[in-house]
Amino acid sequence: MSALMALIMCLVITAVTEGMGPEYLTTVARAYVRAMPVAFVGVLAVRPLVNRLVRWTITDYKSS
């Protein structure tokens, strides 16, 4: 999940900020190398919260 998220964000943000010139894929690759560890740690950090929210939503739904 983090790998795909980081790749999509790098593709879009690079296209918006730098344009899609001849160095586009090289620039995306450089951005991806920097963004991937941040995205991975972010997913690990947010996962417990998401799990709690899902459990809370499912529990609330079953009790109705």
pLDDT given for residue 57 in this prediction: 87
pLDDT given for residue 32 in this prediction: 97
Positions of the chain with pLDDT under 70: 60-64
3-state helix, strand, coil in the chain (%, to 5): 90, 0, 10
pLDDT given for residue 59 in this prediction: 72
Give me the residue spans of the domains in the chain: 2-63
pLDDT given for residue 18 in this prediction: 92
d(CA 12, CA 59): 37
